[in-house]
């Protein structure tokens, strides 16, 4: 018994000693970090030259106190892989993560430390809330508030549906992408069979809860408001505490991701009749090639037959009398959603600026990618054009960054991770073992110190890959964009190219790729891309085995994957195999279906 007591005492002392040793790696003087990431936020932020009517006074306040990067770009313009790349500091072509498979199933990523895991390993408190990584792994955080919640949703007693204000056919897209409108009392609003409509949060199953809206002054909080309040409470608990352990906080806001549903007062800020339309050139899409790499037919678990951005645009325009009416209604909802997030950003800034945290807290505001507002007949993310790739990026670094300054150097989200470890003076060894990958980005600290003249070690152009639904990805065969200071170059997987002189053509209206006067510039970008992405035949990063998502119907029967469904279709229609090689490709399926079997898939 005495030996056991002695052993327990020694064990406790050892644990305390190890804990104390870890704490000694950092000190209370090292800066705290607050990383605020919005979803689908484009340049509709004051100071970034987006919509002239945008109202973001709190983001503008952060702009005045920090350094704005006016040519910051995402590394892949869709939620899941963009956030995986940003939070691990690894390009998609080095991780293999181009799609929506859970990030921690990729060998490279699960053997590399995320920002929060690395900061925790170096002695920081780590706490987060909302949507940060697309697929959350709870163990990456010490303290977590609320999981990602895309609500509020309208609920008809059986399904989540689009906001009742949205006309058809746009509303038929569904409760997420086909929905926008004010968060108001639904009294008197019913389905065609008389079922009363009500609000629900974004949780599923037994976690779904009704949201109450008795009036605009008496209602439940939206998920973004809950996350803002959680962040403020955590900051207040840590403010003005001497000897406090430094913290890394992540705050993920959903808006302006669809459904664009926020309290009515934000819609009231932008009267519909006064909304200015996005700058759109008729026929702008005609010299582009994005459509040539889309168009895989729809399966139960596969992609849509029509590109999502084109589909949303066409459905929206078809739901109103004119294109102007359609875009005016959507733009109002987007501006309202941005304004609602801005209010939450202001609460976080107030909590910091009114306490001792102000002079020792790095604050970063950004988004996972942008969003097209109808330019090139496209209403979505996931394009290689400016509207999708560009993100707002503001960094306030007390004592380092020059307040109210601007850097026009093209940078990307991949650079945030190395910037933070540089500002916080912690190790840049972020791999867990030799199966991991070192950081691909470069510290922005020199540009914080000298925004226009700082000698940055990073590349001349920001690199963005395009997401496309596949079972396996070959980095050498994907589509990419390079955004240099005065140029954008795009190379699609089929070899099609686009080239824009962004200095003379900021809206990217004129594709110069086939203009012989710009052949030299085109060749330069071809060479740069060749140097930065793997060549054909290069060994690809290990990727998870494809596992079709098993959707479940009300009768609990699993829905077949797209490939399984196509195989069954092939058995019934062997003539669809045009080249008679015994395999049915998606292109063969599409051609056959269009000509001989146009009935919709059930």
d(CA 116, CA 179): 33
Min mean pLDDT across 246-250, 382-386, 453-457 is at: 453-457
CA 206 to chain centre: 27
Enter the tokens of residue 587.
């292109």
Per-residue tokens: 416: 């945030």
469: left (phi over 0), alpha (psi -120 to 50) or beta: beta
What confidence tens digit (pLDDT) does each residue in 395-440 have? 999 999 999 999 999 999 999 999 999 999 999 999 999 999 999 9
Instruction: Tell which residue, 14, 8, 36, has the closest CA to residue 130.
Output: 36
175: exposed, middle or buried (Cβ count in 10 Å: 0-12, 13-18, 19+):
buried
Which are the contacts of 52, defined by CB distance < 8 A and separation ≥ 6? Answer: 276
**3-state SS string over 471-487?**
CCCCHHHCCEEEECCCE
What is the residue-wise DSSP string for 257-272? SSSEEEEHHHHHTS-G
pLDDT tops 80 at residue 347 = yes
Which pLDDT score is estimated for 562? 61
Cα of first residue to Cα of last residue in the chain, in angstroms, is 71
Hey, is 449 helix, strand or coil?
helix
Tell me: cis bond preceding 481? Omega within 30 of 0 counts.
no
Q: 68-100: per-residue pLDDT in tens?
A: 999 999 999 999 999 999 999 999 999 999 999
437-470 residue pLDDT tens: 999 999 999 999 999 888 899 999 999 999 998 8
What pLDDT shows up at residue 564? 66
Domains along the sequence of the chain with CATH: 27-145+222-300+317-532 (3.40.720.10), 153-211 (no CATH), 553-596 (no CATH)
Question: What is the band of 383 on the pLDDT scale with cuts at 50, 70, 90?
Answer: very high
Residues in contact with 460: Cβ distance below 8 Å, sequence separation at least 6, in sequence order: 410, 484, 485, 528
Q: Indicate the pLDDT class of residue 593, thresholds 50, 70 and 90.
A: low
pLDDT band at 547 (very low <50, low <70, confident <90, very high): low
User: Residue 510: exposed, middle, or buried by beta-carbon count in 10 A (0-12, 13-18, 19+)?
Assistant: middle
Q: What is the pLDDT of residue 583?
A: 76
Indicate the DSSP class of residue 321. Answer: S
Listed in sequence order, the residues at least 6 apart from 38 whose beta carbon sits closer than 8 Å to its beta carbon are 253, 255, 256, 341, 365, 366, 367, 368
Note the pLDDT tens digit of each residue in 251-294. Answer: 999 999 999 999 999 999 999 999 999 999 999 999 999 999 97
Check residue 385 and give its pLDDT: 98
Contact 480, 76 (CB under 8 A): no
pLDDT at 592 over 60: yes
pLDDT tops 50 at residue 303: no
Is 14's pLDDT higher than 50? no
Three-state secondary structure string covering 197-225: CEEECCCCHHHCCEECECCCCCECCCHHH
Location of structure tokens 């929206």: 316
Residue 492 gets which letter from DSSP? Answer: -
State how far the alpha carbon of 27 is from the alpha carbons of 113, 120, 243, 424, in Å: 22, 13, 8, 10
Packed helices 79-88 and 416-423: angle between N→C axes, nearest 10 degrees: 30
Strands (E), 452-519: 462-465, 480-483, 487-491, 497-501
d(CA 405, CA 65): 8
pLDDT tens-place string over residues 336-345: 999 999 999 9
The dihedral through the CA atoms of 27, 29, 30, 32 has a sign that is positive
Look at residues 63, 51, 160, 112 and name the one whose alpha carbon lies nearest to residue 432: 112
Q: For residue 431, give the DSSP letter.
A: B
pLDDT class for 596, splitting at 50, 70, 90?
low
Tokens encoding 205:
């199953």
CB burial of residue 298 (10 Å; 0-12, 13-18, 19+): middle
Mean pLDDT of all residues in 49-58: 97
Q: What is the pLDDT of residue 345?
A: 98
Cα separation, 404 vs 61, whole angstroms: 9
* Rg of the chain over all Cα atoms, to the nearest angstrom: 25
What pLDDT was estimated at residue 586? Answer: 67
**Whole-angstrom Cα distance, residue 586 to residue 578?**
12
Omega of the bond prior to 152 within 30 degrees of 0, cis? yes
Question: According to the model, what pLDDT value does residue 517 have?
Answer: 97
At residue 565, the pLDDT reads 61
Distances (CA, A) of 519 to 370, 428, 480, 515: 30, 40, 19, 7
Mean pLDDT of the chain, nearest integer: 89
For residue 147, the model assigns a pLDDT of 94
- For residue 17, the model assigns a pLDDT of 43
Residue-level pLDDT at 433? 97
Paired tokens of 140: 């990456």
CA-CA distances (angstroms) from residue 226 to 135, 143, 175, 222, 367? 20, 16, 21, 6, 19
> Is there a contact between 410 and 461 (Cβ–Cβ < 8 Å)?
yes
pLDDT reported for residue 563: 63
CA distance 309 to 292: 14
* Per-residue pLDDT at 338: 98
Q: Mean of the pLDDT values across residues 526-554?
A: 79
- Over range 378-384, report the average pLDDT: 97
- 523-530 contacts, C-beta under 8 A, 24 or more apart: 525/461, 525/482, 525/484, 525/487, 525/489, 525/499, 526/489, 526/491, 528/459, 528/460, 528/461, 528/482, 529/480, 529/482, 529/489, 529/491
Query: What confidence tens digit (pLDDT) does each residue in 471-481 have?
Result: 899 999 999 99
d(CA 63, CA 396): 8
Quick one: what percent of the chain has pLDDT higher than 70?
A: 87
Of 298-312, 512-526, 552-566, the least confident? 552-566
């Amino acid at each position: 018994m005495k030996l056991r007591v002695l052993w327990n005492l020694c064990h406790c002392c050892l644990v305390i000693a190890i804990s104390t040793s870890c704490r000694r790696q950092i000190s209370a003087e090292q800066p705290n970090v607050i990383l605020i990431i919005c979803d689908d936020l484009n340049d509709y932020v004051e100071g970034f030259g987006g919509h002239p009517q945008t109202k973001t006074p709190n983001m503008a306040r952060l702009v005045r106190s920090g350094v704005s990067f006016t040519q910051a770009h995402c590394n892949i313009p869709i939620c899941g892989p963009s956030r995986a790349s940003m939070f691990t500091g690894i390009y998609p072509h080095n991780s293999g993560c181009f799609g929506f498979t859970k990030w921690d199933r990729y060998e490279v990523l699960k053997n590399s430390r995320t920002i929060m895991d690395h900061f925790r390993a170096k002695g920081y408190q780590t706490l987060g809330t909302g949507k940060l990584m697309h697929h959350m792994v709870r163990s990456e955080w010490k303290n977590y508030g609320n999981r990602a919640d895309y609500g509020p949703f309208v609920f008809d007693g059986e399904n989540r549906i689009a906001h009742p204000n949205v006309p058809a056919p746009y509303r038929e897209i569904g409760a997420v992408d086909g929905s926008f409108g004010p968060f108001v009392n639904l009294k008197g609003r019913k389905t065609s069979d008389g079922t009363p409509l009500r609000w629900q949060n974004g949780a599923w199953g037994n976690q779904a809860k009704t949201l109450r809206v008795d009036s605009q002054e008496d209602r439940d909080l939206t998920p973004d408001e809950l996350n803002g309040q959680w962040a403020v409470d955590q900051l207040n608990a840590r403010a003005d505490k001497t000897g406090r352990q430094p913290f890394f906080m992540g705050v993920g806001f959903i808006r302006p991701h669809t459904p664009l549903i926020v309290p009515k007062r934000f819609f009231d800020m932008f009267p519909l009749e006064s909304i200015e339309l996005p700058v759109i050139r008729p026929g702008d899409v005609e010299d582009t090639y994005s459509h040539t790499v889309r168009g895989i037919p729809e399966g139960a678990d596969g992609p849509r037959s029509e590109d999502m951005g084109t589909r949303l645009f066409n459905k929206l325009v078809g739901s109103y009398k004119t294109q102007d009416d359609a875009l005016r209604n959507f733009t109002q909802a987007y501006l309202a959603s941005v304004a609602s997030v801005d209010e939450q950003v202001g609460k976080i800034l107030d909590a910091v600026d009114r306490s001792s945290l102000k002079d020792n807290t790095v604050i970063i505001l950004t988004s996972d990618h942008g969003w097209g507002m109808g330019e090139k007949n496209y209403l979505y993310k996931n394009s290689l054009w400016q509207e999708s790739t560009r993100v707002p990026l503001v960094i306030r670094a007390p004592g380092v960054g020059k307040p109210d300054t601007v850097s026009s150097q093209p940078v990307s989200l991949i650079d945030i991770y190395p910037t933070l470890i540089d500002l916080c003076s912690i190790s840049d060894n972020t791999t867990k073992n030799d199966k991991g990958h070192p950081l691909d980005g470069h510290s922005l600290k020199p540009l914080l110190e000298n925004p226009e003249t700082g000698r940055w070690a990073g590349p001349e152009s920001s690199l963005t890959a395009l997401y496309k639904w596949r079972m396996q990805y070959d980095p050498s065969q994907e589509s990419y964009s390079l955004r240099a200071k005065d140029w954008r170059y795009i190379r699609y997987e089929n070899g099609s190219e686009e080239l824009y002189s962004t200095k003379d053509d900021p809206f990217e209206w004129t594709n110069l790729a086939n203009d012989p006067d710009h052949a030299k510039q085109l060749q330069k970008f071809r060479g740069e891309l060749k140097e930065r992405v793997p060549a054909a035949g290069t060994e690809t990063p290990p990727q998870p085995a494809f596992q079709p998502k098993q959707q479940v119907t009300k009768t609990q029967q699993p829905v077949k994957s797209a490939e399984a469904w196509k195989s069954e279709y092939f058995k019934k229609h062997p003539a669809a195999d045009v080249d008679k090689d015994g395999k049915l490709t998606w292109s063969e399926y599409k051609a056959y279906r269009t000509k001989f079997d146009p009935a919709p898939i059930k």
